[in-house]
Structure 1
Amino acid sequence: MPHKGSVKPFVNFNAKQDAELLHRAMKGLGTDEDAVLMLLTSRSNDQRQQIKAAYKKAYGKDLVGALKSELGGLFENLIVALLTPPALYDASQLHKALKGAGTDDDVLIEILASRTGEQIKDIVKVYKKEFGGKLEKDICDDTSGHYQKLLVNLLQGSREKAVYEDKIENDAKDLFAAGEAKFGTDEETFINIIGNRSPGHLKKVFDAYRKLSGCDIEDSVEGETSGNLENLLLAVVKCVRNVPDYFAGRLYKSMRRAGTDDSTLMRVMVSRSEVDMLDIRASFQKKYGASLYTTIQEDTTGDYQKALLYLCGGSD
């Protein structure tokens, strides 16, 4: 499989040498922010973990703590995010979304709709280890109704793997009967089918649904549901159709508004940089007729901007 991330493992990697470079960048008066951001954005997350270990061994100090005392603001947050293992980063984002004042549903929806079953299982484990509670319980305490049900469903990370040719037509008919064809909506059917079937299977169901009903499943979800349930169903449908496309939309929305939603911008850039950033960039250009690189340039400043542009992986 071709590598679709903008950040790849650094070829002649030497953790000890990198730790030394970072140490030098922080020594003396002021910090060489350029050295820090160029180094960390050109190493994979796995390599950054090795640098942390080498730094601890050489200087007896925690690298994240050392950087935090030298940096500030959004740039600091971004550097700390880059140094966090992916499952822990997702778990922390979910914890923050649940434990703050009010629930940040956008974060719950984005992470649970877009991660693979394996990733979700890892997140659940790390969440328990790190925060001492069960993610499912914390989600149930903060949400309700059909929205809660679908979140818990996705949290099992046990989506089917296969495409069942014999079920495609039936699933499409069931979705049609549950929404467009009746007065009121049978949300359970939407949740059971969209929340459990494999992406490959659902793509075929959505094609069959279009033939049957004359409209896209997205239109029906928008017409038949509302609020958080609608947003979650739409996110799942978008991720089934095309994950990079979904994230291109998230990035566009995070920047094209009054004030930038930096937490979303940062989370997507960090968590997709090694996965599918090149596809997200292509998708962004196609959907919005603008380059992701230029859009980030217009919406951010300083070292934070520089680091994001490196994660974007080039200006074309």
Structure 2
Amino acid sequence: MAKNTRGTVTAFSPFDARADAEALRKAMKGMGTDEETILKILTSRNNSQRQEIASAFKTLFGRDLVDDLKSELTGKFETLMVSLMRPTYIFDAHALKHAIKGAGTNEKVLTEILASRTPEEVRRIKQVYQQEYEASLEDKITGETSGHFQRLLVVLLQANRDPDGGVDEALVEQDAQVLFRAGELKWGTDEEKFITILGTRSVSHLRRVKCIRSVPAYFAETLYYSMKGAGTDDDTLIRVMVSRSEIDLLDIRQELRKNFAKSLHQMIQKDTSGDYRKALLLLCGGDDD
């Protein structure tokens, strides 16, 4: 899933899964827990390396690394470390399940994940959701949403968005006219036209029609508002930091600095504390000031 192009977390080298597993076991064995060792290892290895560490941990000690982390850590720091240990697609599937569970649906999370992932990633998320929860993601989402929003999510779940590549200028012009006629020139809005175009055209194409924003700019705004004002929305902060750390967090940092005149590093420093803050700052990967 991660493209490792503009992420702050990349493959650690030289990597030794066995040595990391032993260091983590030592950090959690006996009286007291060495949180510093845990956060330094887990924030500096990429997701596939963390999975190798978990496998080595089970082989060496016959113990589940995530279970040990849950029993030794607490609060937001525990949530962050456990989130880092989830395989990428399971992480997304878990976030989607959480978004449609209980009273009220978190529409922002549904949109964020399904609209920002590639068609291949959406297909994998659907498979993993079925395996993990023995339920259809599409059925769950249609059961908890309605109207035009539901239809857009269903279109996105079909994972039929055009691949990014060369942009067909004639089609861009045609879609621009269709959207104009469906919106501006009509009493009311022809939502079906919007849903079809927004849900199936490539990202490059949609940006030419000027009807979507850049993904890093979207996540920069999401992070900014997760920490702005009274109280921090830690669920959002953790979800974005973990899911984008290997993909485009460097770009997100730049967009946040440009659009809000603050650095992500400074916001984390100000709005979080303790080992949770230390781990987030390591994932952040530096200050832009």
- TM-score normalised by length of structure 2: 0.96
Query: In structure 2, what is the equivalent of residue 202 of structure 1?
Result: 206
Query: In structure 1, what is the equivalent of residue 280 of structure 2?
Result: 308
Unaligned runs of 5+ in 2: none
Query: In structure 1, what is the equivalent of residue 247 of structure 2?
Result: 275
CA distance in 2, matches of 1:2, 1:142: 34
Deviation of the 1:2 alpha carbon: 7.8
CA distance in 1, matches of 2:82, 2:247: 19
Which deviates the most, 92-101 or 48-57? 92-101
Q: 1:147 aligns with which of 135, 146, 149?
A: 149
Tell me, yes or no, if structure 1 residue 167 matches structure 2 residue 171: yes
Query: In structure 2, what is the equivalent of residue 119 of structure 1?
Result: 121
Query: In structure 1, what is the equivalent of residue 107 of structure 2?
Result: 105
Which deviates the most, 160-169 or 99-108? 160-169
Deviation of the 1:183 alpha carbon: 1.3
- Residues 4 and 246, structure 2, Cα contact 8 Å, conserved in 1: no
Deviation of the 1:258 alpha carbon: 2.1
Tell me, yes or no, if structure 1 residue 55 matches structure 2 residue 41: no
- Listed as ranges, the matches of 1:62-101 within 5 Å are 62-101=64-103
CA distance in 2, matches of 1:294, 1:285: 10
CA distance in 2, matches of 1:8, 1:167: 38
Query: In structure 1, what is the equivalent of residue 37 of structure 2?
Result: 35
Q: Deviations over 1:91-110 (max 9, x none)?
A: 00101111222211111111
Residue type at the aligned position of 1:90: D
Residue type at the aligned position of 2:42: L
Query: In structure 1, what is the equivalent of residue 23 of structure 2?
Result: 21
- Residues 114 and 157, structure 2, Cα contact 8 Å, conserved in 1: yes
Query: In structure 1, what is the equivalent of residue 256 of structure 2?
Result: 284
CA distance in 2, matches of 1:49, 1:133: 25
Which deviates the most, 104-113 or 122-131? 104-113
Q: Deviations over 1:238-284 (max 9, x none)?
A: 2xxx2111110110111113211100000000000010111111111
Question: 3-state SS of the aligned residue for 2:49?
Answer: helix
Higher relative contact order structure (alpha carbons within 8 Å, sequence separation ≥ 6)? 2
How big is the alpha-carbon RMSD for the aligned residues of Structure 1 and Structure 2? 1.2
- Listed as ranges, the matches of 1:202-221 within 5 Å are 202-206=206-210, 217=211
Residue type at the aligned position of 1:251: L
Tell me, yes or no, if structure 1 residue 293 matches structure 2 residue 262: no
Question: 3-state SS of the aligned residue for 1:99?
Answer: coil
Residue type at the aligned position of 2:194: F
Structure 1 runs (4+) greater than 6 angstroms displaced: none
CA distance in 2, matches of 1:29, 1:261: 32
Question: 3-state SS of the aligned residue for 2:143?
Answer: helix
CA distance in 2, matches of 1:91, 1:156: 16
Identity %: 55
Query: In structure 2, what is the equivalent of residue 179 of structure 1?
Result: 183
- Residues 51 and 85, structure 2, Cα contact 8 Å, conserved in 1: yes
Question: 3-state SS of the aligned residue for 1:252?
Answer: helix
Residue type at the aligned position of 1:4: R
- TM-score normalised by length of structure 1: 0.88
Residue type at the aligned position of 1:164: D
CA distance in 2, matches of 1:204, 1:101: 38
Question: 3-state SS of the aligned residue for 2:86?
Answer: coil
Question: 3-state SS of the aligned residue for 1:55?
Answer: helix
Residue type at the aligned position of 1:63: L
Deviation of the 1:167 alpha carbon: 1.7
Question: 3-state SS of the aligned residue for 2:209?
Answer: helix
Question: 3-state SS of the aligned residue for 1:195?
Answer: helix
Query: In structure 1, what is the equivalent of residue 195 of structure 2?
Result: 191
